[in-house]
Amino acid sequence: MRVRNVLIVGDFADVNGGQAKVAIDSARLLADVGVQVVFFAASGDPDPQLIHDNIRTVCLHQYTLAYNPRRLNAMTTGLWNRAALQALRQEVSKLDPANSVIHCHGWAKALSPSVGRVLASGPLSALYTMHEYFLACPNGGFYDYRRQEICTRTPLSPSCLSVNCDARHVSHKVWRVARSVVARGPGQIPRGLTDVAYISQTQLRAMRPSLPKSARLHSLPNPVEAGGPLVEAVQNKAFVFVGRFSPEKGALQFAKAAQLAGVGAVFVGDGPESEAIRKANPGARITGWLDAAQVQVELGQARALVFPSQWYECQPLVPIEALLRGVPVVCGSWTAAAEVVENGINGIVHDSRDVETLADSLRRIQKIGRFDSSVLASQVSPEHHLSRLIEIYDGMLG
């Protein structure tokens, strides 16, 4: 093992989503095998998982863009966070390029494109894991939130610039375009990246045209563990959705499809479509947001997990968690979830986005019995993730 030090860089020091969780989990995995980790984040109170003899946490205690009360400051620091760049350069200067690497897990929520200067032209070898699509797409999703459809326009092309695809207001699209221009220019992102990790083939297909041809691309699925014992799903009746109730997640479509199929629906989460879901399916149970342990309780009572997302996704974790526990999954062929669902074996994959097709999938999945998830478990295990990390890091140093 050549690597001795890893500087992990991301927006958050606390777990508030999949991106931060993967960064923190990887820090712990590396520390447990003796690698010295510096965990560098812009915001959040450091997670207890980062308390380790081999981990030193550097948190700048900055606001994220969404929660900065000074909106003008949020706009300017979101374009170029000078303080974050200076602090990151200081940390890089303490490490030996012969045995140290940087691993960045994102910059769009607080750090800004400024950190790209260190990733692209700093003294340390740098790996960038794509947890979303901000390296190319201004809104980070290749999704037109106005038309509620996957966007296939070339990022920053005339067709891209002429369309307001933002979920909120055209001014947000203008600002995000400006940030993308800054990232591609002085931020040197993605043109200066030499090593890029992707977490699914779906993500790679969407991103490949926007990445440097010279970049080394590494498959690095996120680590996922089963959150509980195997479930006898055939004995259960609940069809479960977990996530935000927003158009791109397809929660309302599931509500209508469950009503049409005559199956019981459980919604774990919350969001702007809550009232519409109640009207479409008065018999549905809505739990609100639950912690990780409570989500596992709901999965333990599920006949199937329904994942009706309308956009690509990257590597959605809940479908994998469900499969690892023996709960079959319903999803669309256009999402990254379809990569782990074998149609007719451990779930149902459909090609059409209409409510009738989803309702038919809910009926069909009731024929799915027990299935073996051992291969998937090995592919996404923390042990496999750690092995891949060290393999990639050592290759970069070699």
Mean of pLDDT values over 69-90: 97
Strands 264-268 and 5-12: unpaired
| DSSP 8-state secondary structure symbol assigned to residue 153 | S
51 and 183 co-located in one domain: yes
8 A C-beta contact, residue 219 and residue 127: no
300 and 187 co-located in one domain: no
The answer, yes or no, to whether residue 188 has pLDDT greater than 90, is: yes
Between the CA atoms of 214, 205, 23 and 318, what dihedral angle is there, to the nearest 10 degrees? -170
* pLDDT reported for residue 168: 85
30 and 156 co-located in one domain: yes
For the four alpha carbons of 206, 207, 209 and 210, in that order, the dihedral sign comes to: positive
The answer, yes or no, to whether residue 16 has pLDDT greater than 90, is: no
* pLDDT reported for residue 167: 85
Rounded CA separation 246/258 (Å): 17
* pLDDT reported for residue 280: 98
261 and 165 co-located in one domain: no
Residue 39's DSSP bridge partners are: 8, 57
The answer, yes or no, to whether residue 212 has pLDDT greater than 90, is: yes
32 and 166 co-located in one domain: yes
8 A C-beta contact, residue 349 and residue 343: yes
* pLDDT reported for residue 20: 95
In a domain, 214, yes or no: yes
Q: Which domain holds residue 269?
A: 233-378
Residue with tokens 């199956």: 263
The answer, yes or no, to whether residue 18 has pLDDT greater than 90, is: no
> pLDDT digits over 105-163, tens only?
999 999 999 999 999 999 999 999 999 999 999 999 999 999 999 999 999 999 999 99
149 and 201 co-located in one domain: yes
Rounded CA separation 162/160 (Å): 6
> pLDDT digits over 45-75, tens only?
999 999 999 999 999 999 999 999 999 999 9
| DSSP 8-state secondary structure symbol assigned to residue 288 | E
278 and 299 co-located in one domain: yes
H/E element, 242: strand 238-242
8 A C-beta contact, residue 349 and residue 333: yes
In a domain, 203, yes or no: yes
* Mean pLDDT (the chain, rounded): 97
